[in-house]
């Protein structure tokens, strides 16, 4: 890969800005100053430094965000802020996108990556990747609901859902629940509760496959996945 392309891809500036860095002698490859933007480097093997700092090349980026309410799970939107707008420039340069969608008012775990293959496999209906949500419901949730969800419920468009595992954490005039589903139909959790005559008043995703929301992330904050988390996703997808 050309050195100017590599540095531009990593967000160190436009090709023109990177050229200037090179001309100024700021870039070394294997301890040799490189001034020619056309010079090729092997990002896997060569040691590249910029102003003496090692430059780590990566093709893929994997981010976990605690999605805040009021923000859209998309890369662009004409009216609303998107989750991509919340990223630092150094991460946005990788052109990542959210893996699946959470509603505008839903919070919690959102995986953001530029790894299309991983995204495709995690979203494939054939893979049945389980996702667990915490929700507050506007009324009492009962054992009958648990049973109904276990068998699958019929949504407003006639679609019969796959079984969902409903756990009642607190039941009352407002109930706290956890629901695990293996599908991702539009507004699925909200519509499953509508199917039993109840309304979701708060929704937060806690897990997606092997990935768990890092509760130390404030709403709108994000971090890179750890190597272990990436590995768990890679292994998970082949199951
Ligand atoms: N189910 C919903 O209803 N909304 C979400 O954002 C995710 C799952």
* 13-24 per-position pLDDT tens digit: 888 999 999 999
For the annotated catalytic residues, the residue numbers are 103
Give the pLDDT confidence of 122-153 residue by residue, as tens digits.
998 888 899 999 999 999 999 999 999 999 99
Q: Where are the domains of the chain?
A: 3-54, 62-125+210-234, 131-208
Quick one: pLDDT band at residue 163, thresholds 50, 70, 90? very high
Q: 62-125+210-234: same fold as 3-54?
A: no
Can you give the pLDDT at residue 10? 82
Give the pLDDT confidence of 173-201 residue by residue, as tens digits.
999 999 999 999 999 999 999 999 999 99
Instruction: Judge whether residue 25 has pLDDT over 60.
Output: yes
Can you give the pLDDT at residue 140? 98
Q: Is 183 in the pocket of ligand 1 (CB under 6 A)?
A: no
Q: Is 189 in the pocket of ligand 1 (CB under 6 A)?
A: yes
CA 189 to ligand 1 center in whole angstroms: 5
Of 55, 81, 76, nearest in space to 1 by CA: 55
Domain covering 131-208 assigned CATH 3.30.70.1560 in the classification: yes
Can you give the pLDDT at residue 73? 97
CA 104 to ligand 1 center in whole angstroms: 9
Specify whether the CB–CB gap between 114 and 84 falls below 8 A: no
Q: What is the CATH architecture assignment of 3-54?
A: Roll (3.10)
Atom of ligand 1 nearest to the CA of 190: 3
The Cα 31–Cα 12 span in angstroms is 19
Instruction: Judge whether residue 239 has pLDDT over 70.
Output: no
Instruction: Judge whether residue 154 has pLDDT over 80.
Output: yes
- Residue bearing the CA closest to ligand 1, atom 2: 187
Q: Which two tokens stand for residue 176?
A: 């706290």
Q: What is the CATH architecture assignment of 62-125+210-234?
A: 2-Layer Sandwich (3.30)
Mean per-residue pLDDT of the chain? 94
Q: Is 194 in the pocket of ligand 1 (CB under 6 A)?
A: no
CA 168 to ligand 1 center in whole angstroms: 18
The Cα 61–Cα 39 span in angstroms is 25
């Amino acid at each position: 890969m050309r050195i100017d392309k590599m540095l531009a891809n990593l967000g160190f500036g436009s090709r023109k800005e990177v050229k200037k860095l090179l001309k100024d002698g700021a870039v070394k490859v294997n301890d040799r100053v490189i001034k020619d933007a056309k010079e090729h480097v092997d990002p896997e093997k060569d040691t590249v430094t910029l102003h003496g700092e090692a430059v780590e090349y990566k093709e893929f980026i994997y981010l976990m965000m605690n999605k805040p309410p009021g923000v859209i799970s998309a890369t662009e939107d004409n009216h609303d802020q998107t989750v991509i707008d919340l990223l630092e420039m150094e991460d946005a340069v990788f052109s990542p996108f959210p893996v699946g969608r959470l509603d505008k008012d839903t919070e919690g775990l959102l995986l953001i990556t530029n790894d299309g293959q991983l995204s495709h496999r995690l979203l494939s209906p054939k893979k049945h990747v389980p996702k667990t949500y915490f929700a507050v419901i506007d009324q009492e949730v009962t054992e009958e609901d648990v049973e109904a969800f276990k068998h699958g419920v019929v949504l407003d468009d006639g679609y019969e859902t796959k079984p969902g595992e409903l756990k009642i954490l607190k039941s009352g005039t407002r109930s706290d629940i956890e629901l695990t589903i293996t599908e991702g139909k539009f507004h699925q959790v909200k519509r499953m509760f509508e199917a039993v005559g109840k309304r979701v008043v708060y929704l937060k995703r806690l897990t997606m496959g092997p990935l768990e929301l890092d509760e130390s992330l404030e709403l709108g904050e994000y971090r890179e996945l750890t190597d272990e988390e990436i590995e768990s996703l890679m292994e998970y997808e082949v199951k």
